[in-house]
Amino acid sequence: MTVSATGAFRQLAEESLEAARLCHLNGFYRIAVSRYYYAIKYAAQAVLLHSRQMQIKSHRQLRRAFGLELVKTGQVCAKWGKELSKLYELRKDADYSLTASIDQTTADDAYTRAKAFLNHMRPLLNAVQTI
């Protein structure tokens, strides 16, 4: 189960990045920002499941486990924990704040962050098969 679940998270990360990019290019910036976060969320879940056999149930638990299990142990740089938190905050604004300014510049920034995050996590998941 672990390998296929990890592979499923990895696949969801890649699909979410692509779906977010399509929304972004078509002017759906709020949806794009939200999906960019989910792309890195799924990647982080895949890494935690693959390397620590940890199944995560909440956004808060994910950020905490990522910091304790991957950043503090030196498996990933602290920058990536900060990126996870930054995109989480952007996602909350995009999904729940009617007054937040989620424009093309915000979506461009989220895309850059999400793409870099996934590019950094991919080597940690090279051995993981997708389903």
Residue 131: inside a domain = no
Q: What is the pLDDT of residue 1?
A: 40
Tokens of 42: 């799924």
The domain tally of the chain equals 1
Residue 35: inside a domain = yes
Q: Using a pLDDT cut of 70, give the percent of the chain over it.
A: 94
pLDDT digits (tens, 9 = 90+) for 38-84: 999 999 999 999 888 988 889 999 999 999 999 999 999 999 999 99
pLDDT at 105 over 80: yes
Q: What is the pLDDT of residue 3?
A: 54
The rounded distance, in Å, linking the Cα atoms of 103 and 119 is 24
DSSP characters for 72-113?
Answer: TTTSS-HHHHHHHHHHHHHHHHHHH-SSS---HHHHHHHHHH
| Max CA separation in the chain (angstroms) | 43
Residue 82: inside a domain = yes
CATH code where residue 90 lies? 1.20.120.330
The range of the structural domain enclosing residue 76 comes to 2-125
Residue 10: inside a domain = yes
